[in-house]
Structure 1
Amino acid sequence: MSFKDIQADFIEAIRRPDLPCPHGIAPQRMGVYRELFFNNVSGFVNSGFPVLKSLYGEAQWQAQLRQFFTEHDCQNPLFIGIAGEFLAFLSARERQVDEPPFLLELAHYEWLELVVATAMEQGDEAAFDDTALAQQAYLDARLGLASHARVAQYHFEVEKISPQYQPDTPLPSPCYFCLYRDSDDEVSFLKLNPMTAQLLAVLEANTGIKYIELLQKMQALYPNFDGQQLREGIAQVLGQMAVRGVVVQKLQ
């Protein structure tokens, strides 16, 4: 048996307590390894999904974690990576009988908060300073969505979900969010109207775009809107988002 095969058997035995211990490893020592690995993974998931965890009893939540640990083939051992793997696990499995209809959207929202909180600043972008904001420099600059900002669409009010509020049915129409890090480096969110969400989505997909190009794309998406109102509305939204650091200037 090759060393790679030995490693694979060892990892599988850690993930599955029902399997016999690998040759040469005492059951007591193997139990320590299993407990250590499971507790580490559980700690990462618990930290990344506190609201989701609060909706379950302890035994039920531990069963979910054990299933994830045993059945899901994690490819990323880092904290943010394990959170993403847990989201992938929830998305891929069959829906459970007692699973709330908002579970996947809530899990995605909590994962996105983590993504925003840990996003690295990019060297090719810069926030608009007070002088640039006063001069409306964002109307001439190459624009982009900040590396620590994300736009998302949900069918449940995920930001309100708690043990006391668990909706049974989706909203009549989707709700849109922008999650971003504020000036205090805290994760914040904005509820967006559909047009603002579309504007930020266009920015995200066309990094380095200029205001005139952005206006043209929005006019194509909203041909029935009055041109003057659309120009003024886009300029106003860009200013508001630039103040919050959501819209930044791309330097390259």
Structure 2
Amino acid sequence: MSRRGGDEPAPPAALREQQEALTAHLRDPDRHPPPPGLDERGRSVYRRLVFNNLHGLLASTFPVLRRTLDEEAWRELVADFLADHRAATPYFPRVAEEFLAYLAEGRGERPEDPPFLPELAHYEWAELALYTADEDPSGVPADPDGDLLTGTPVRSPLAWSLRYRSPVHRIGPDFRPEEPPGAPTCLVVYRDRADAVGFLEINPVTARLLELMEQEPAPGAELLRRIAAEIAHPDPERVVAFGADILADLRQRDVVLGTFP
């Protein structure tokens, strides 16, 4: 049975224009008028569905950020992301990464935003990303009982060193620093053999030790003496002794898996 007049299917180009007009309206109804032929009730349903789905996904991924911002600021942030950001991936599970890209590159500095906004979001994302990471430490060759000073320590692929200007691990509804402290916050976020994710605040020496473990593997004592030289410590062996305790603690947490066999 043939279609006639207004029942004829829209040409692909016209259909694409209608779709683009609808999605632009759903993203930002204040700046983009709706396409013709869609009543207000239908538009309202679509707008709520799109916004609420995105709101729920981001709230579950960034719960601390969600609780730290007030309700109006949080909803405005989600609405701005929906209106202004153009995703580089079509995959829904990667929306959190798109949100980070928006905060870091697309949003810019705004007087209403707390200074820790992008860093806190990144910290929360890191915990989730580490929990779902595919790397398997059990496949990494390592002697779990090896001597960490005479042997070469093996860093877990599920241990990420992070450095922030703000103390992101302490930020929450009851603690909102207005200005970053003078010293950076160094953290290692890790997933242990039981698949539990934890974090550890570390000092710059430990951060440098983990960096050297990954970039220039060598026996633990050698790495620690190198750090002692870098910081011009008057007693390198004291740094080695102090570092031995650090290495033992990192091994207990599965940040260090052991030594190269």
Please report the TM-score for the alignment, with normalisation by the length of structure 1.
0.78
Q: Which amino acid aligns with 2:102?
A: F
Shift of 1:53: 1.3
Q: Distance in 2 between matches of 1:166 and 1:249?
A: 39
Matched, 1:36 2:46: no
Matched, 1:101 2:115: yes
Matched, 1:229 2:209: no
Q: Which amino acid aligns with 2:187?
A: F
Q: Is the 8 A contact 2:148 2:244 kept in 1?
A: no
Q: Is the 8 A contact 1:242 1:248 kept in 2?
A: yes
Please report the TM-score for the alignment, with normalisation by the length of structure 2.
0.75
Q: Is the 8 A contact 1:120 1:147 kept in 2?
A: no
Query: Root-mean-square deviation (CA), in Å?
Result: 3.5
Q: Is the 8 A contact 1:120 1:148 kept in 2?
A: no
Matched, 1:210 2:224: no
Q: Which amino acid aligns with 2:210?
A: L
Q: How many pairs align?
A: 246
Q: Unpaired runs of 5+ in structure 2? A: 1-10
Mapping of residues 178-189 of structure 1, within 5 Å:
178-189=188-199
Q: Distance in 1 between matches of 2:259 and 2:201?
A: 25
Shift of 1:34: 3.6
What whole-Å deviation, never above 9, does each CA across 1:139-163 have from its counterpart, x for those lacking one? 535623x232211223332222222
Question: Which residue of 188, 195, 203 maps to 1:193?
Answer: 203
What whole-Å deviation, never above 9, does each CA across 1:92-150 have from its counterpart, x for those lacking one? 3232223223223222222222222222224784385xxx4444278535623x23221
- Where 1:120 maps in the other structure, the secondary structure is coil
Shift of 1:178: 0.9
Matched, 1:17 2:29: yes
What whole-Å deviation, never above 9, does each CA across 1:170-212 have from its counterpart, x for those lacking one? 3232221111123442321111111001111223445xx2326
Identity %: 33
Q: Which amino acid aligns with 1:165?
A: F
- Residue 247 of structure 2 is matched in structure 1 by 238
Q: Distance in 2 between matches of 1:127 and 1:30?
A: 57
Q: Distance in 2 between matches of 1:90 and 1:143?
A: 34
Matched, 1:63 2:76: yes
Distance 1:98 1:127, change over 3 A: farther
Q: Is the 8 A contact 1:44 1:79 kept in 2?
A: no
